[in-house]
Homo-oligomer: A and B are copies of this chain.
């Protein structure tokens, strides 16, 4: 059974998606009644939205919908394919290789396994190579049958769909590199071309590391956004 708070947060998210910026939301008592929760629970959900900057509340006046900040930004963990789909791009997987091999000491330490599966593939947008992705996961995390059947380019999507283990977040280091060797070759660019690189670690709800990945993107096709907020400490200082 899903808890009232989660239900409320979801409902509010959807309500905001349907709302125009600047619009005034129903008052808290009314909203609470509509959603079937108490005002206290509703306020917890609204506070979270306020912290994320999606609404503005003015005591004695009402609650307003903020103009949406970047929505396809980097805050939410979604696969390249899902990102592309949401902007109407036609994306497919090109050449792929799957290797089983022994983990090197670093990988064994981080992932907690002896053997790993390494998945390399090219991502095509409108038929043109735009990204080269390498995932390294512990052997057995994804069944071989699943991998051959449901894998269309995104390890993340397969893991999310499987539901087990429960993923929570990833941390990525962002850098710029020049294309070399195999990467340049697969992306069909000359050596020394400029690439945007993400080095990511994917964690479960329990804080366990389950996927190490490296992504190389050709600049221009995908646009990555981040929203950075002024910190509490500085922003609200007198």
Contact = CB atoms under 8 A, between A and B. Distances in A.
26 contacts: A40-B40, A43-B44, A44-B47, A75-B228, A75-B229, A76-B229, A78-B231, A78-B234, A168-B230, A169-B229, A169-B230, A171-B225, A171-B226, A172-B225, A172-B228, A173-B224, A173-B225, A174-B174, A175-B219, A175-B223, A176-B176, A176-B219, A178-B194, A194-B194, A196-B196, A226-B226
Contacts of A170: 227-228
Most chain B CB neighbours (cut-off 10 Å) among A45, A169, A197, A226: A226
A51 B48 contact: yes
Contacts of A163: 237
A15 interface: no
Contact of A225 (B48, B174, B225, B232): B174
Given A176-B195, A177-B219, A178-B194, A171 B229 contact: no
A78 B231 CA distance: 8
Identical copies of this chain, number: 2
A30 to B, nearest CB: 19
A67 interface: yes
Question: Which size bracket describes the interface of A in this complex?
Answer: 35 or more
Contact of A168 (B47, B197, B235): B235
